[in-house]
Amino acid sequence: MRVWIGLCVLGTTLLGAVPAQAQEAEALRKELEDMRKQFEAMKDGYEKAINKLSERIQAIESRPQPSPNVAVPSPAPAAPAPPAQPAVSQAAPGGAPSLLDLAKPREPFSLYQQRGSGQLLFDMGVTGDFVGNLTQNNVQKATGGTFAGLENLFFPREIELSLFGQIDPYARAEVRFEAGEENRGDITVSLAEANLSLMTLPFGTQAKLGLMRNRFGLTNPIHEHDLPFIDRPNVLVRFFGEDGLVESGAEFTWVPPLPFFLELLAGVFNGNNEVAFGSDSLKYPLVTGRARTFFDFEEWGALQLGASVASGYTADRLRNTIVGTDAKYKYKPDGWQHALLTLAGEALYEIRNVNVTGPDANGDGVPDDPASPHTLHRFGAWAYGELQPFRFGPLSLWSLGFRYDWTEYPQNPGHEWAVSPYLSFMPSEFLRFRLGYKHTARSNRDGINLNGGSARDVDELLLQATFILGAHPAHPF
């Protein structure tokens, strides 16, 4: 009896397993079918995406190609090369572009079209630059330090609000307001720059109109917080003043279609720089020019060469011409975030006409001889080098620099020279600290003996702290 009961139980179990296995197999078949459908759907999606990309590539390739004689500069390994210019013209069917093709406006930039709805068409940024110095008491009395009137003080040198961006596909603009302490306890706010750039003019030209830092030499276009050292070179301060060459007018640039990069610039301005010119009238305009070229040595770095000229009239309606030449080299090995080595320098030569009067021999307050024109020839130069020897780790945030200055005085007899070693620490691209020392020696003919003090030999300990908040334009090479 027990045997029969066991056989019945076993049979019942086997009969129940058959439908269970059948159900499991059916479920697996259904899952396999669903996976097959999903795969087919993904396959169709990828095929559609591939077809769209192929159509876009064909559309781009079918466009007329730029003229083969239009030169496009190679990017430098040390820093971004000068901005590539949009196509100057479209190639004519016969080969070289015609004069009519060259006269047509170039293709507009696409940045404007990439803005989303509701987005601002310009960027905003705030920079802060603070400087402190320690020097001798006699230098403070004579106000003969690097920052005249601000000796032995920590002060905001430049707080800048920047608004810049594309107006439309054809133009861009920038507006900059600056605030800083120019005299002890005296904070001033001023309009530093406000200009319009037309990017797509005929014949491959561009125009910049308004108030701007003139593109004279290496450092004049750069604001204080972006300088590669703490203060401006002495020759630029002596020849152009503490603020540099900042003028209202127009600049025009052209990159000719050559097998190498060459940028040509010409400008016309009011000439209101009181130190170098001072005519402040388009009847006696300040005319500027600059030529710049660029060489890419691939793994051996990159070199930029330039020459500048500024010629205008002083307040006495006498001609003053300043010419300059500059060079900058950067070596950045592969994989380095910053340049391992940077070398740069600039030399300026001034030809200035002045009125010279004779001595007052009889003491009646009237010169014995009337004013007569005289030509002064003045020279000045500076050079610097910066080394960042570490690629990774905390030490890669540090760099060492050294600058040498030598310059004659524009109108008075005499000269001065200075040496400035400094140490930089950059925790990020938006924060930087510098500690420097500057020794300045002036000739015994400079006449700096004021307020009971003397500034013939000046020793200064300088500290700089700089931050960037928000957007900031790309740094030049």
pLDDT at 217 over 90: yes
3 state DSSP class of 79: coil
Torsion, Cα of 40, 46, 51, 52 (10° steps): 130
Q: What pLDDT sits at residue 469?
A: 94
Mean predicted confidence (pLDDT) in 341-352: 97
C-alpha distances in Å from residue 341, one per residue of 76, 165, 225: 14, 32, 21
Got the DSSP string for 291-354? EEEEEE-GGG-EEEEEEEEEEEEBTTS-EEEEEEEEEEEEE--TT-SS-SEEEEEEEEEEEEEE
Sorting pLDDT into bands at 50, 70 and 90, what band is 55?
low
Q: What pLDDT sits at residue 62?
A: 56
pLDDT at 471 over 90: no
Q: What pLDDT sits at residue 168?
A: 84
pLDDT at 209 over 60: yes
Sorting pLDDT into bands at 50, 70 and 90, what band is 472?
confident
pLDDT at 233 over 90: yes
CA distance 67 to 204: 12
pLDDT in tens, 26-46: 777 777 777 777 777 776 666
Burial class (CB in 10 A: 0-12, 13-18, 19+), 207: middle
Nearest to 347 by CA among 240, 218, 443: 218
List of residues 6+ apart from 13 with CB closer than 8 A: none
- DSSP lists the bridge partners of residue 405 as 382, 418
Q: What pLDDT sits at residue 70?
A: 41
pLDDT at 365 over 60: no
**Residue 280: left if φ>0, alpha if ψ -120 to 50, beta else—which one?**
left
Nearest to 78 by CA among 302, 265, 262, 243: 302
The mean-pLDDT minimum among 191-195, 357-361, 432-436 falls in 357-361
pLDDT in tens, 253-287: 999 999 999 999 999 999 999 999 998 899 999 99
CA distance 32 to 326: 72
Mean predicted confidence (pLDDT) in 185-210: 93
Cβ atoms of 176 and 162 closer than 8 Å: yes
pTM of the model as a whole: 0.74
List of residues 6+ apart from 409 with CB closer than 8 A: 238, 378, 415, 416, 446
- DSSP lists the bridge partners of residue 61 as none
pLDDT in tens, 401-421: 999 999 999 988 899 999 999
List of residues 6+ apart from 435 with CB closer than 8 A: 422, 423, 461, 462, 463, 464
pLDDT at 48 over 90: no
CA distance 269 to 284: 9
Mean predicted confidence (pLDDT) in 7-13: 49
Q: What pLDDT sits at residue 401?
A: 97
Q: What pLDDT sits at residue 120?
A: 57
Q: What pLDDT sits at residue 63?
A: 55
What are the structure tokens assigned to 55, written together? Answer: 């159509």
pLDDT in tens, 83-128: 444 333 334 444 555 666 655 555 554 444 455 544 556 889 999 9
Place of tokens 């020459």: 307
CB burial readout 254-272, b (16+ within 10 A) else e: bbebeeebbbebebbbbbb
Q: What pLDDT sits at residue 79?
A: 43
pLDDT in tens, 452-468: 678 889 999 999 999 99
3 state DSSP class of 469: strand
CA distance 119 to 111: 12
All domains of the chain, ordered by start, with CATH?
Answer: 112-470 (2.40.160.10)
3 state DSSP class of 300: helix
Q: What pLDDT sits at residue 87?
A: 38
CA distance 439 to 444: 16
Sorting pLDDT into bands at 50, 70 and 90, what band is 197?
very high
Mean predicted confidence (pLDDT) in 350-362: 76
What are the structure tokens assigned to 320, written together? Answer: 């003053």
pLDDT in tens, 172-187: 999 999 999 988 888 9
Q: What pLDDT sits at residue 355?
A: 87
Amino acid letter, residue 395 = L
Place of tokens 């010119």: 277
Mean predicted confidence (pLDDT) in 390-408: 94
Got the DSSP string for 87-118? PS-BPBTTBSPPHHHHHSPPPPPSTGGGPPTT
Q: What pLDDT sits at residue 242?
A: 92
- Over its C-alpha atoms, the chain yields an Rg (Å, rounded) of 34
pLDDT at 25 over 80: no
What are the structure tokens assigned to 414, written together? Answer: 């005499």
